Amino acid sequence: MSHCYCILLRKASRRVTTLYDEALAPIGVNLAQFSLLRNIQRAEPISLTDLGQRTELDRSTVSRNVKILEKMELVAMTNGQDQRETAVELSDKGRRVLKDGASLWDGVQTQIEAKLGNEASAQLTALLQAL
């Protein structure tokens, strides 16, 4: 019997995304937004182009997602080093969301590791990184 790796990964991804989304709901963000905030925090101020490269998303997708975060008052747009480039950095509210969400994120990580066990968690990490 042959298994479609793509379908299996997509199903697993949806289930895992739901776990994170449910955990992060109390702070008003979803997994994608929280992850983007973490990436901004790690390199701020960061240009939209660099953020796209860092997250492996095209610039238009990053720009659209950052605009949502800006409307939520979680980030602020600034001029980049090159005046033709827009940069983004966290607002105070964005920093609070990351601080409040860290334990929620860690809780899901722990939940997944508990379900899989240490050995399977390590194997899963290695397999996914190999792709």
The tens digit of pLDDT for each residue in 43-62 reads: 999 999 999 999 999 989 99
Q: What is the model's pLDDT at position 108?
A: 97
What are the tokens at 107?
A: 């809780």
What pLDDT shows up at residue 1? 59
Domain-wise residue ranges, the chain = 5-130
Coil, helix or strand at residue 120: helix
Q: Which two tokens stand for residue 45?
A: 């101020």
pLDDT at 78: 87
CATH class of 5-130: mainly alpha
Q: What is the pTM of this model?
A: 0.88
Q: Which residues of the chain have pLDDT under 50?
A: none
- H/E stretch holding 54 reads helix 48-55
